[in-house]
Amino acid sequence: MWESWGSNMVVKVKWFYHPEETKLGKRQSDGKNALYQSCHEDENDVQTISHKCQVVGREHYEQMTRSKKYQDRQDLYYLAGTYDP
């Protein structure tokens, strides 16, 4: 995160894709909160950030969702693979 020449705060982000946003679409093996990492990155104004989320490996995700603490979290996802847009 840094301040641009125009005094705007900017952040560099790496993009994740929901299965339905990929060319193959959602597969049977994709669970409810699957995400695909990509090499796609760009710079955005920090005001475009809507919220943060947590992306973990599938095994860790399954362990976490078995716990009552994480069962209803809408911001918890697991890494299902990679995608090259």
- Containing domain of residue 62, as a range? 2-83
5-28 pLDDT, tens digit per residue, is 788 899 999 999 999 998 888 887
Q: What pLDDT sits at residue 29?
A: 80
Q: What pLDDT sits at residue 70?
A: 77
20-58 pLDDT, tens digit per residue, is 998 888 887 888 899 999 999 999 999 998 888 999 999
63-72 pLDDT, tens digit per residue, is 998 888 877 7
For residue 17, what is the domain's CATH number? Answer: 2.30.30.490
C-alpha torsion angle, residues 66, 69, 70, 71 (rounded to 10): 60
Rounded Cα distance between 83 and 85, Å, is 6
Spatial neighbors of 71 by CB under 8 A, at least 6 apart, are 65
User: Into how many domains does the chain fold?
Assistant: 1
Statement: residue 59 has pLDDT above 90: yes
Rounded to two decimals, what is the model's pTM? 0.80
Rounded Cα distance between 51 and 63, Å, is 23
